[in-house]
Structures are given as structure tokens and as C-alpha cells.
Amino acid sequence: MAKVSAVQKNKRRERLVAKDAAKRAELKAKIKDQDISPEERFEAVMKLAELPRNGSKVRIRNRCELSGRPRGTYRKFKLGRVMLRDLASTGQIPGMVKSSW
């Protein structure tokens, strides 16, 4: 089980990313637009720098939904490898069976 504070910090980041996503996308589009004057582009860069860092999508860590484990997480299931194995062994995940040969 991961630290509760680490899990909560990650959830806070997810909320901040969702809130600032449109504003960030708009500023990034302005920065990439070559038709805008360099001064306007620089202003957009400065506004983007003023936004909180935790509002960036790359700051979110993929974590297991059940245990909070940060590593070995399958994106498709949003579960860590340990929890995925436990749930698959008990038949909780439809279509997934333990391999044997």
C-alpha cells in the first residue's frame, strides 16, 4: 500500500490538469503559431510559465487504483501487476485466465 499522501497529491494534480487543460492548450497553440508576432508569442510563453507546474499533464503518475503502487501499472486496467494477478487468479477480471501448459 502506497502512502496516502502520495496518492492524494497525484489526485490533486489530476484535478488541476483537468481544470487548466483548455488554457494550456490555447497558450501552446499561440506559442507554436508562426504567424503571430514574436512579442505576442513571448507573452504567451510568460503566461504559460505563470501557471502552476502541477497543472501539466506530464506531472501525473500512473498509479494502481486499488493499492496506489506507482510502478508496474497496466494502463488498460489501471491496476498494478500484483493486484492484477490477484484479481485474475480469483476470476474477478472477465476474460483473463491464468496460463498453464
| pLDDT of res. 1 | 78
* Residues forming a β-bridge with 14: none
The mean predicted confidence, pLDDT, of the chain is 92
Q: Please give the pLDDT value at position 96.
A: 86
Domains by residue range for the chain, with CATH: 1-61 (1.10.287.1480), 62-94 (4.10.830.10)
Query: How far apart (Å, rounded) are the C-alpha atoms in residues 65 and 75?
Result: 11
Q: Is the CB of residue 51 less than 8 Å from the CB of residue 31?
A: no
What confidence tier does 65 reach under pLDDT thresholds 50, 70, 90? very high
The mean pLDDT value for 20-44 works out to: 94
pLDDT at 80: 94
Q: What is the predicted pLDDT for the residue at 101?
A: 77
